[in-house]
Amino acid sequence: MVRAAIIGASGYTGLDSIEIIARHPQAEVTYLTALPEECGRADKVFGRLKGKCDLDIEPLDMNKLTELADVVLCCLPHKVSMGFVPKLLGAGLKVIDFSADYRIKDIKIYEQYYQVEHTDTVNLENAVYGLPELFRDQIKGKNLIANPGCFPTGMLLAIAPLLKEGLVETNSIINNAVTGTSGAGKNPSSTFHYPNMNENIFAYGIGVHRHMPEMEQVASAVAGQDVTVLFQPHVGPFDRGILSTVYCQPKKEMSNGKLAELYNDFYKNEQMVQVCVGSPKVKDVAETNYCHVYATTAKGKIIGFSAIDNLVKGASGQAIQNMNIIFDMEETLGLR
């Protein structure tokens, strides 16, 4: 059994990680930590955990952690994470980090978007971007995985075949995405107060969302050349899921038949990515680690669509997929 600790266990990604591992036949959650004011029995913090998890969430104790865990799912926020990860790695633990701290390779861009100095550039360099469908070989056997952002996961899987094959203009990409509300995290706010958010939909982070440079970096890596992305997120009145609608200009005209062939071929060995005929629906992937994709031509453009659960394939599920890979287990254990 792989023994997993979760640091920052009191948020939604912590909850989902606990629930997924509770169904995992070869892993178990052994240690949960959070800030002192968020501690307590896990099933009091989250009523859903009654009968599934009888651990306490405790303030972090490095000795206990080292003794109890093989791997850490580090669910700390951006900027905080890089203060802990070096210690975790130093203690010989494998780390899957949910924050952006180890995703952006260009420190200047990181520091511009996150407004803080990066304090762990050594590990940043060694970290692998944990999107298994694109970087599986690099993930195997690694100690530090930068678990991807939810919006980048959605966009990248929606158009990876096009990028990889160099079929679209790399400066033409517009990613219009709609996320469910769980992406906002568990802290109440006026925006996500039920009577304000229900029956509502609107755009946010216009022109400045932090996931934009992450998308560009990884898309560029996939394409082998610089890619720019205009990313416009929206939030809608549902819990889980991101629908990405990605507009691209093809370099030359492509038939829908060719597009379907390209996608089916690209993802043919991927359990977690399913190619649809017609628009993906977020409800078909909610509470699962699947990504549904579809691409089609429309008025001279190509539209790539994807649907994921932002908390699962966009966070906790993908982390456990990465965990399965680095411990050489079957990749989809606990995830179907």
Residues 210-269 that bind a copy of itself (CB under 8 A): 212, 228, 230, 232, 234, 236-241, 243, 245, 247
- Residue from 81, 123, 170, 181 touching a copy of itself (CB under 8 A): that is 181
- Annotated catalytic residue: which of 39, 74, 150, 248? 150
Sign of CA pseudo-dihedral 306, 158, 271, 70: negative
Name the residue nearer to a copy of itself (CB basis): 55 or 91.
Answer: 55
Q: Which two tokens stand for residue 312?
A: 């699962």
| Three-state DSSP state, 29 | strand
- Asked if residue 195 binds a copy of itself (CB under 8 A), the reply is yes
Q: What mask, x for binding a copy of itself by CB under 8 A, covers residues 264 to 293?
A: -------xx-x-x-xxxxxxxxxxx-x-x-
**Among the candidate windows 48-56, 67-75, 100-108, 111-119, which touches a copy of itself by CB under 8 A?**
48-56
- Asked if residue 204 binds a copy of itself (CB under 8 A), the reply is yes
- Asked if residue 327 binds a copy of itself (CB under 8 A), the reply is no
Q: Which two tokens stand for residue 328?
A: 């050489």
Concerning whether 291 is annotated as a catalytic residue, the answer is no
Beta carbons within 10 angstroms of residue 41's beta carbon: 15
Residues in binding contact with a copy of itself, number by CB under 8 A: 77
At its nearest, how many Å lie between a copy of itself and the CB of residue 190?
A: 5
**Among the candidate windows 66-74, 94-102, 131-139, 194-202, which touches a copy of itself by CB under 8 A?**
194-202
Looking at residue 154, its amino acid is: G
- Asked if residue 296 binds a copy of itself (CB under 8 A), the reply is yes
Exposure string over 1-24, b if 16+ CB within 10 A, otherwise e: ebebbbbbbbbbbbbbbbbbbeeb
Reference 281, options 273, 293, 263; nearest CA is: 293
Reference 212, options 109, 325, 115; nearest CA is: 109
Residue 293 DSSP code: E
At its nearest, how many Å lie between a copy of itself and the CB of residue 288?
A: 7
Q: How far is CA 148 from CA 127, 186, 203, 251, in A?
A: 12, 20, 22, 28
Q: Are 223 and 166 in contact (CB under 8 A)?
A: yes
What does the alpha-carbon distance between residue 306 and residue 161 come to, in Å, rounded to a whole number? 13
- Residue from 3, 22, 136, 260 touching a copy of itself (CB under 8 A): that is 22
Name the residue nearer to a copy of itself (CB basis): 68 or 184.
Answer: 184
DSSP-assigned states of every residue in 129-187: E--HHHHHHHHTT-SEEEPPPHHHHHHHHHHHHHHHTT-B-TT-EEEEEEE-GGGG-SS
User: Which residues pair with residue 145 across a beta bridge?
Assistant: 96, 128
At its nearest, how many Å lie between a copy of itself and the CB of residue 101?
A: 24
- Residue from 37, 63, 122, 207 touching a copy of itself (CB under 8 A): that is 207
Q: What mask, x for binding a copy of itself by CB under 8 A, covers residues 50 to 69?
A: xxx-----------------
Beta carbons within 10 angstroms of residue 190's beta carbon: 7
Reference 103, options 84, 78, 134; nearest CA is: 78
At its nearest, how many Å lie between a copy of itself and the CB of residue 298?
A: 3
At its nearest, how many Å lie between a copy of itself and the CB of residue 322?
A: 18
| Positions 123 through 162 that interact with a copy of itself (CB under 8 A) | none
- Asked if residue 307 binds a copy of itself (CB under 8 A), the reply is yes
| Positions 71 through 110 that interact with a copy of itself (CB under 8 A) | none
What residues act catalytically? 150
